[in-house]
Structure 1
Amino acid sequence: MNQFSFEYPWVLAFVIVFWLCGRYCPARTMAIYFPHVRSLLSLRAHKSRLLEILKWVGILGLLLALASPVLTNEYKDLKKKGRDIMLIIDSSDSMRQRGFDPADPYKSKFDVVKEVVSDFIDKRKNDRIGLINFASVAFVASPLTFEKEFLKKIVAMQQLGIAGKRTAINDALLQSYNILSKSDAKSKVAILLTDGIDNMSRISTDEILKLISQSDVKLYTIGIGSYRDFDGPYLQALAKAGHGKFYAASNKGALAKIYADIDKLETSKIKSKKIVKHEYLYIYPLFVAILALLFFVYLRTAKGVE
């Protein structure tokens, strides 16, 4: 943000002193040294307001230069330490179930999840976020990106059935960990959401637990619906291996609180450094003042103007 100011604004008050002197303190040097100079000059001198203008331009220019005008440009250098986050969302056939949102019982679980996830994306200003959609197969709906509006559009475009009807939790985790393993971010997070039990993965439970435990990715697992819908102990084991936390949500409000809790646990750090740049502008009024005074002296002496 640009801001104009004077370093020594009190100097401008001297304009009053000059004005008072010019009005009430007439110069007497001419009378002392050249008592008849006015009559001698009157033959070729003519009255002119130009000298008065030049004099005051010179005076004002000098005062402005002495007041030291400064243009200040202030900005912040932000050092963002965001996280890389993979959102893993179940789109199997069981996500068609309605009644998960008491305020709108006609919405499916999947529709509610998309709303809550979009809100979570909005809050993660400094993170790269990607999206895995899984059911019978797992696919990358969006790579890691800073473009939050683009990602929210991708989330809104997700549909039930495009990845099949069954549930492949382990395969989805494998996809996510493969992506995050290539990330150079210092902090990596995976958030798995499902309402089912793995019945389609090609990778075994032992293999995925070993992969998770050896990775530097923190894993949060969320089971939605009733405890009969998902395998709570398994999701808890996954979260424990991933040094994260297991959550269960029975409705939209509980799910929103879970994502809010994860948002607080995984706060991104921002360090800001204030940088101020000063541009001194005294040279411009000083240049104008010198020119005005030079013309003043020239007209006064060479042309006989007064």
Structure 2
Amino acid sequence: MLESIQFLNKEFFWLLLLLPIAIVWYVLKHSKQTAELKISSIKGFKSSSSFWSNFRHLLFALRLIALALLITALARPRTVDVSTKTKTTSGIDIVMAIDVSASMLAKDLRPNRLDALKEVAADFIDGRPNDRIGLVEYAGEAYTKTPITSDKSIVKRSLRDINYNSIIEGGTAIGMGLATSVNRLKDSRAKSKVIILLTDGVNNSGFIDPKIASELAVEYGIKVYTIGLGTNGMALSPIGFNPNGSFRYGRMQVEIDEALLKEIALETGGKYFRATNNDKLAQIYEEINKLEKTEVEETKYYNYDEKYRPLVLLAGLLLLIELVLRNTIFRSFV
């Protein structure tokens, strides 16, 4: 309760320093006002202590407490209730086009390229609460994994389900992946439309030229960020199958068509990135997250409840009690 109270005029608390000064003044004044009688013996007097005489200090205590309450009231104690209303003024529709070819199982990223991407992409999705996001998978062909939706739980569940499978035709059809993503966004009414296209290879499959797909993106006002995934040099990649059906790995040269990815990004107003390790991949998604900001209008409402009135009333009551006692019970002593 006390933690929620704030004081508007805290400088008035300096007046509390007057209280110890008042106490010292009262003690000194009281000692000087005490009458003295010098006699040779007090055997003839009955020794007794007067309760009312000692209790008269209550008047000063009441006045002191009242003063402390008035100083606290001057500091304007109050509680504040803050309510926030958030309105998204311009949302962004985002499609993440993910290469799921066999080469995405290469182990130059931990534990492999595809799993590293899924982990980073999940964090990216969590950081876009006001946007709609969709997923497109592509290898030798492309299809929509999840249409653009504001339900992040659906998107993240679909992202977790992305794995290499032999059902999709082998190869890397960058043009198909980009065109499918454009198709998902072309009817969007969002003020900003973005595709994040990730691949670890070169365009060697599909029937749509990547340049044609990028021209479609430009026509529909879609910005494309491209990411080349893979270390420089050689990487431990799948090169065949073992008798038990598992992949056989070997060292292979990493080949990424960076010229094509740079051209797509430049033509559509996006940016090209190269991710050679897990940390770099995470940094890339953080940078894209900063580049594509959603405008959010936040309105805060403050409801103040002033607490000084009860303090003033209590101080007034104490002063009234002191006045009544001073002029009745303690009239002969003060």
Category of TM-score, reference length = shorter chain: 0.5 to 0.7
**8 Å contact from structure 2 (residues 135, 155) kept in 1:** no
Q: 3-state SS of the aligned residue for 2:98?
A: strand
Q: Which amino acid aligns with 1:61?
A: L
Q: Which amino acid aligns with 2:11?
A: E
Q: CA deviation at 1:83?
A: 5.1
Asked if residue 288 in structure 1 is aligned to residue 314 in structure 2, the reply is yes
Provide the C-alpha distance between the structure 2 equivalents of 1:76 and 1:227, rounded to a whole number of angstroms.
Answer: 57
Q: Which amino acid aligns with 1:219?
A: V
Provide the C-alpha distance between the structure 2 equivalents of 1:146 and 1:266, rounded to a whole number of angstroms.
Answer: 22
Provide the C-alpha distance between the structure 1 equivalents of 2:87 and 2:216, rounded to a whole number of angstroms.
Answer: 32
Asked if residue 208 in structure 1 is aligned to residue 194 in structure 2, the reply is no
Q: CA deviation at 1:170?
A: 4.1
Asked if residue 217 in structure 1 is aligned to residue 222 in structure 2, the reply is yes
Asked if residue 256 in structure 1 is aligned to residue 281 in structure 2, the reply is yes
CA deviation profile, 1:194-235 (whole Å, cap 9, x unmatched): 23536346x666753332112332112234458985655544
Structure 1 residues 295, 71: CA separation in 2 closer, same or farther (over 3 Å shift)?
A: same
What is the aligned partner in structure 2 of residue 133 from structure 1? Answer: 136
Provide the C-alpha distance between the structure 2 equivalents of 1:169 and 1:20, rounded to a whole number of angstroms.
Answer: 88
What is the aligned partner in structure 1 of residue 94 from structure 2? Answer: 85
Provide the C-alpha distance between the structure 1 equivalents of 2:167 and 2:202, rounded to a whole number of angstroms.
Answer: 14
Provide the C-alpha distance between the structure 2 equivalents of 1:129 and 1:229, rounded to a whole number of angstroms.
Answer: 32
CA deviation profile, 1:143-198 (whole Å, cap 9, x unmatched): 45485x88556533322228723455445434433554565654442110123536
TM-score scaled by length of structure 2? 0.61
Provide the C-alpha distance between the structure 1 equivalents of 2:17 and 2:280, rounded to a whole number of angstroms.
Answer: 66
Asked if residue 63 in structure 1 is aligned to residue 71 in structure 2, the reply is yes
Provide the C-alpha distance between the structure 1 equivalents of 2:59 and 2:212, rounded to a whole number of angstroms.
Answer: 94
Higher relative contact order (CA 8 A, sep 6+): 1
What is the aligned partner in structure 2 of residue 39 from structure 1? Answer: none
Query: Identity over the aligned pairs, expressed in percent?
Result: 24
**8 Å contact from structure 1 (residues 131, 141) kept in 2:** yes
Provide the C-alpha distance between the structure 1 equivalents of 2:70 and 2:188, rounded to a whole number of angstroms.
Answer: 60
Structure 1 residues 181, 22: CA separation in 2 closer, same or farther (over 3 Å shift)?
A: farther
What is the aligned partner in structure 2 of residue 245 from structure 1? Answer: 271
CA deviation profile, 1:106-141 (whole Å, cap 9, x unmatched): x4432233244346557x467636241313332243
Provide the C-alpha distance between the structure 2 equivalents of 1:279 and 1:51, rounded to a whole number of angstroms.
Answer: 32
**8 Å contact from structure 2 (residues 202, 256) kept in 1:** yes
Provide the C-alpha distance between the structure 2 equivalents of 1:230 and 1:75, rounded to a whole number of angstroms.
Answer: 52
Q: 3-state SS of the aligned residue for 1:160?
A: coil
Q: Which amino acid aligns with 2:72?
A: L
Provide the C-alpha distance between the structure 2 equivalents of 1:285 and 1:252, rounded to a whole number of angstroms.
Answer: 64
**8 Å contact from structure 2 (residues 120, 282) kept in 1:** no
* Equivalent pairs, count: 280
CA deviation profile, 1:11-47 (whole Å, cap 9, x unmatched): 2122134323432335x9xxxxxxxxxxxxxxxx955
Structure 1 residues 247, 53: CA separation in 2 closer, same or farther (over 3 Å shift)?
A: closer
What is the aligned partner in structure 1 of residue 62 from structure 2? Answer: 54
Q: 3-state SS of the aligned residue for 1:25?
A: helix
CA deviation profile, 1:246-275 (whole Å, cap 9, x unmatched): 4555x4369628726853871648899999
Provide the C-alpha distance between the structure 2 equivalents of 1:163 and 1:302, rounded to a whole number of angstroms.
Answer: 101
Return the match for 1:199 from 198, 205, 226.
Answer: 205
The root-mean-square deviation of aligned C-alpha atoms, in Å, is 4.7
Q: Any gaps of 5 or more consecutive residues in structure 1? A: 29-44
Q: CA deviation at 1:73?
A: 5.7
